[in-house]
Structure 1
Amino acid sequence: MPAGTPATGEGRCRVADPGLGHGAAGFHRHHEDSGGRVSPLATATRRVAADLGGTHTRLAIHDAARNEFRYQQTFLNRDFADFEAVLQYWLQDIDEPTPETACFAVAALIRGDQVRMTNRDWSFSCRALASRFGFRALAVLNDFEAHAYALPWLAASEVVTLQAGAGEVTQGRLAVLGPGTGLGGALLEGRGATARAIACEPGHMNLAPGTPELLALWPQLVARYGRVYVELLLSGSGLARLHEARSQHEHGAAVPLEPADITRLALTGEDAECARTVAVFCALLGDLCADFILATGAWGGLYLAGGILPRITPLLQESPFLERLRDRGPLAGALGAVPVRLIQHSSPGLLGAAHAPLTGIVPKP
């Protein structure tokens, strides 16, 4: 099997119709060129959509006219030297003309032409990439910014309600946040044609202990890592760090386990310490979500995403997550009124990249 063989090949995947989901309105947008005219590139029905995470890259052609994905595949990043190599490998099997437009959602802080991934030693120039692969228009956005653009396109079957709140998510600012290789977050302002996503970097905010149990762990964490920030603990590798810190504190000896083993042993009930680690992880997440809502004013709804939470849904539902989210004194009622939903869609970043505004980066001839 050659390097770069796809980790999974999902084939064709139909996208939920906008406006027929769980209450948020769908997009109906156009884009204009510098003269105020609607750009033909913006109304192109096909685009290459990509979701570049720290561990996986997902690619597909999205056909808006048919409301479907084609050639959807997921690749392990460790099998490739860079994103260009992934894209080139994937395009070899595409049995139709390469679309002239593309949108890439990247786990990175997007600033200008050069994109450097946060948790992967990859970088690329937007203009050089567009020129090499013949994209006449290319949009590059943060991965959770794409998650935000995906929210109105999620079907009711693709979310789990953790807190019903005051009712349907129909108005107000939305937030999406979640742990995976790191921890990302974003906001969605407006609905329909006025919808606009705002990328955030909550994973790099400082994290504070909210319970006596966590407070007891903090000196050890500070001594070892210097600064305790969100994704140091609220991420895949963070779950392993949290388990080590807890076992060191509780039993005097660190017990290193892979994140997948911790969640597996917690789900099966085979290891009470792993179950407790996951509960503490969820409690920390609840504290973070409360802070994120309070700081951003995302009273319209909170969506949880990332690669970890959908796999531990029963544990999340049984955990102190909601208790910690609401534990904000006089604002407990306001936080209890915020609808909270867990995204179960397999590729929300890809879905968002398929529907995000295509503000083109056009390479010079």
Structure 2
Amino acid sequence: MARLVADVGGTNTRVALGTAAPRSFRNANWPDLYALLGTFLDGQDAPDEIVIAVAGPVRGTQARLTNRDWRIDSGALCGRFGAPRAHLLNDLAALGHALPGLPPAALHAIDGGTRPTADMQALVVGIGTGFNVSPCIVQAGHVTCPPVEAGHVSLPAGIHAALGIDPAPFPTVESLFSGAGFTRFCRAHLQDPDIDGKRVIAGVADPDLGAVAEHYATLLGHLLRDLSLAYLPRDGLFLAGSVARALMNVASTPCRDALHQPISLEGFAAPPLWTITDDSAALRGCASFQFSPS
């Protein structure tokens, strides 16, 4: 059975048939996803199934790419490409579906234990262009990733108090924990309107830049501690996204220390902390997604 899988990001789309090596397409070269997939499938048999991960909100059979006017409908995918069934996933949910089968090389342990591959309760935390989380619950081999919109909740009061700058530009979690949020945070701390998050990460050896990165990583640790209480991901927090990965490369210790600060809840322990380092992880999740029995 041939399953067409795709990971539709803000800039590029990666497409594959099953577990074959993916091809990458630049979104700017295509008017919509249908044209892109049509080129990929040109000359090939119709797929039996289609599973698409989208960097944007998914509402039932429809999805919208966050930073491009692409709207995707699972029924339209079936009609256009002759597949009997199709399913759309948020990109973080696709990572959740990938977790049980990710090989060791796809993960980097920040504060790890032994990653379970059977029954598990975990949380994917994505910090890149935006912010969101995906709970991952595995029971008897079945993976469930309920939809969540965690980026739009109010920034916790404890993090507001620890910002050290005017909190007004950071009303929500995503307004701070995202690429644009990181840049706003750095500019406010350094009083430099031209600095951005990438320059801070690249120049972390400089004492001033390093201090800002460590402060931000500490705030992230506080957020992860709150998320650990909210979702109880006993088997691991799995960080994804460009901001999270870059920050953990240069300032993982203050994040880990904040995550482990004592909590007055009997029996609570901070979960293991990992980063997902495999760029094909969302495609793995699409390939392993289980359709409901018809």
TM (norm. structure 2) is 0.88
Task: Give the partner amino acid of 1:110.
Answer: V
User: Partner residue of 1:160?
Assistant: 108
Question: Distance in 2 between the 1:187 and 1:291 partners?
Answer: 14
Q: How does 1:303-342 map to 2 (within 5 A)?
A: 303-318=238-253, 320-331=254-265, 334-336=268-270, 338-342=271-275
Question: Distance in 2 between the 1:351 and 1:323 partners?
Answer: 32
1:173-194 CA distance string (max 9 Å, x none): 1111121111221111124433
Q: 1:101 to 1:153 in 2, by over 3 A?
A: same
Pick from 28, 51, 54 the counterpart of residue 78 of structure 1.
28
Q: 1:192 to 1:310 in 2, by over 3 A?
A: farther
User: Partner residue of 1:59?
Assistant: 15
Q: 1:244 to 1:121 in 2, by over 3 A?
A: farther
1:75-127 CA distance string (max 9 Å, x none): 333343322233233334xx642422110111233223332233433212221
Question: Distance in 1 between the 2:194 and 2:153 partners?
Answer: 25
Question: Distance in 2 between the 1:316 and 1:111 partners?
Answer: 36
Please say if 1:202 is aligned against 2:145.
no
Taking only the aligned residue pairs, the percentage that are identical comes to 29
1:271-302 CA distance string (max 9 Å, x none): 33332332223222212211112111222221
Please say if 1:217 is aligned against 2:165.
yes
SS in 2 for 1:186: strand
Query: Is the Cα–Cα contact under 8 Å of residues 7 and 54 in structure 2 kept in the other structure?
Result: yes
Q: 1:144 to 1:205 in 2, by over 3 A?
A: same
SS in 2 for 1:162: strand
Please say if 1:49 is aligned against 2:5.
yes
* Structural RMSD (CA): 2.6
Show structure 2 runs of 5+ residues with no match: none
TM (norm. structure 1) is 0.72
Pick from 83, 86, 91 the counterpart of residue 41 of structure 2.
91
Question: Distance in 2 between the 1:212 and 1:147 partners?
Answer: 29
Please say if 1:297 is aligned against 2:245.
no
Question: Distance in 1 between the 2:140 and 2:40 partners?
Answer: 32
Question: Distance in 1 between the 2:151 and 2:208 partners?
Answer: 25
Please say if 1:263 is aligned against 2:201.
yes
Question: Distance in 2 between the 1:132 and 1:360 partners?
Answer: 23
Q: Give the CA deviation at 1:209.
A: 5.6
Pick from 183, 188, 207 the counterpart of residue 240 of structure 1.
183
Q: 1:98 to 1:258 in 2, by over 3 A?
A: farther
Q: Give the CA deviation at 1:304.
A: 1.2
Q: How does 1:124-203 map to 2 (within 5 A)?
A: 124-165=72-113, 167-169=114-116, 171-203=119-151
Query: Is the Cα–Cα contact under 8 Å of residues 6 and 52 in structure 2 kept in the other structure?
Result: yes
Task: Give the partner amino acid of 1:196.
Answer: T
Show structure 1 runs of 5+ residues with no match: 1-43, 63-67, 249-253
Q: 1:281 to 1:55 in 2, by over 3 A?
A: farther
Query: Is the Cα–Cα contact under 8 Å of residues 10 and 67 in structure 2 kept in the other structure?
Result: yes
Question: Distance in 2 between the 1:348 and 1:140 partners?
Answer: 16
Task: Give the partner amino acid of 1:334.
Answer: F
Question: Distance in 2 between the 1:130 and 1:289 partners?
Answer: 39
